[in-house]
Each structure stands twice: as C-alpha cells, then as structure tokens.
Structure 1
C-alpha cells in the first residue's frame, strides 16, 4: 500500500496523553468528511500499551469541524456504530489526524437497540479532573444530543452510506 494512503490516527485525552491510536488507510472523502479504513485483523493501541488486533473491519468518519468521529464496524461485531464525542479532528498533515476524546459515546447495536449514550460518569469525572472549559462541555453535550437524534433517524452519515466505504477496506489499491 502506498505510504500516501496511510494515516496515523491519534485520539488523545484532554491533558494531551495518548489514548487510542492506529494507522488506517485513506479511503476517500464525501460530503460527510474523510473516511479511513482498517481491515480485519487490523492493529490498534490504547495509549502505549501493546498492540491489539481487531477481528472485524471498520471505517472511521472524520467530519470537518464537528465535535465527534464515527466508527462503523463490520458484522458480526455487536456494535454497528460507535461515535466518540471529541474536539474537531485536527489534520496535522494529510498523513496524521488527532483529536481529544471527551469521553461521551453514542452507540448503536446491531440488534437495533439504541442509540444509547454511554460514559456520562467518565465525562462528569473528567470535567473536574481536566477542568474542561464551559464551551467544551457545551459542545460535547450538544454533539451527543445531535448524534442521538441523527443515529436514531438514520440520517446524514448514518443512513447506510458507510457500507460503501466498508466494502472498500479490503479492495487492493
């Protein structure tokens, strides 16, 4: 795979510490944002911990100027959609994107259960620990509310468009 197709993805915590990080393949861009893919048995890390392989393929959408990212998992993974509430993705270069994970997550399970908002307790704890400014707290809550509605309505990037991008993950370049 050509090096220009690879993107280093670094989720960080508000104190700057490394959180989830992985190298993904650039699939393309549409009206929703930039799409990156990881094939089955792709590698990810949490912080500086040892690498983990993920059995299913997935794609991540990085919408411009939005306070979230969205991961779409291939079957049979139980969670179909996993949205991280984050600061807007910051493209340091075409080969590296970073954002701050703000703890709140919106999930949609493959069995149709959801969407559900999770990690509110962690969000509350980290507001105190990291001293999230009021504008960050407000943007995170507004994004979570918008995502709950959009995922439930299957609108915008949650209308099934991710299937096209998932199908590209294993295609040779």
Structure 2
C-alpha cells in the first residue's frame, strides 16, 4: 500500500484551505516530494472535490516559507509556488502549513509572475499578520521570483525524476 500523506493548507485564522492526500515519493536535498497522478481530486476547504487533470508533485522544503507544485504537461502552469509558513509535520502521515496568499507561477511558455499581491495586502489587515510573517513572505516572494525565473534547482530539472514516478499513473 502506498504511503499516503494528508496535505493541509490553512489560512492564517486556521480555516481549512486546499487539502488532499498524496503519495510520499521520497526525499532529497531539496525536501520531501509527494505525488498525485492525473485523474485524482483535491479539495478547497470543505467544498466539492476538484478534479486534477494532470499528474503533479509537491515539494515540501525544510524550513522554507514556500511549497512548490510541479505540473506535468500539457498543463499550462509548469510551476506553482505557494508562499506559506514552513511545512509542519504533525505526524509522518500529515503535514500542514499556512497559505500566505502570495504565489509565484511559471507558465510553460516561460513567463514567471508574482500573483495575489492584492489578497496578501487585504489579508494582512483581515488576519492581522505580524510584521515578521509579512517580512518572511515578502522575502520568500523575491527569492522565488529569481530562483524560479532563473531555473535554479529545484526549479530546473529536479522535479523530472519525481514527476516520472506519477505521470501516467492512475488512481
């Protein structure tokens, strides 16, 4: 039986955000890699299940203020980084982090963009983000923009091995 991990993103007030179960693929110098084949589902909060058309892997780095999702083709978003608090392992089968709204996205055509700055500004007020959380999120955004755009690892070829473990797999 596959080693499944519950991945739970919350918002700063503790409400459940994106949540799904993924297969643990392994670990390397970049962190823990989890995978999900195309044809499976994810969920936003307690809402309806959302189908996932393409295989993808998530990298959960150690002590970094982000997570990264790497999507298999033909999805037009190649990499989607959530700026979040460092992943916290509740147990070997559950990880959680607080989504801090900002996202760094690399499209398959090579464009890299910083997304949801308006939501980040709004939530700083709504949820009362402390100054250190704001500073960490902004620093992570700057670092990710450079690293993702410059294809620095793990944003180069590091994901290929892990995507290969789930691409084409069916639930």
Structure 1 length normalisation: TM-score? Answer: 0.95
How far apart, in 1, do the equivalents of 2:130 and 2:158 lie? 34
* TM-superposition CA deviations, 1:91-121 (whole Å, max 9, x none): 00010000000000000000112x1000000
Count the aligned residue pairs. Answer: 169
1:152-167 correspondence to structure 2 within 5 Å: 152-167=149-164
Displacement, 1:66?
0.3
1:7-58 CA-partner distances (Å, limit 9, x unpaired):
0000000000000000000000000000000001111000000111111000
1:39 to 37, 40, 58: 37
TM-score, normalising length: structure 2: 0.96
Counterpart of 1:103?
101
Gaps of 5+ in 2: none
Bigger drift between 129-138 and 161-170 goes to 161-170
SS of 2:154 mapped into structure 1:
helix
RMSD: 1.1
Q: Distance in 2 between matches of 1:38 and 1:160?
A: 18
How far apart are the structure 1 equivalents of 2:44 and 2:75?
Answer: 19
The 5 Å alignment of 1:11-160 reads 11-113=9-111, 115-160=112-157
Q: Which structure carries more relative contact order (alpha carbon 8 Å, separation 6+)? A: 2
Where in structure 1 are there 5+ consecutive unaligned residues? none
1-structure distance, mates of 2:138, 2:159: 24
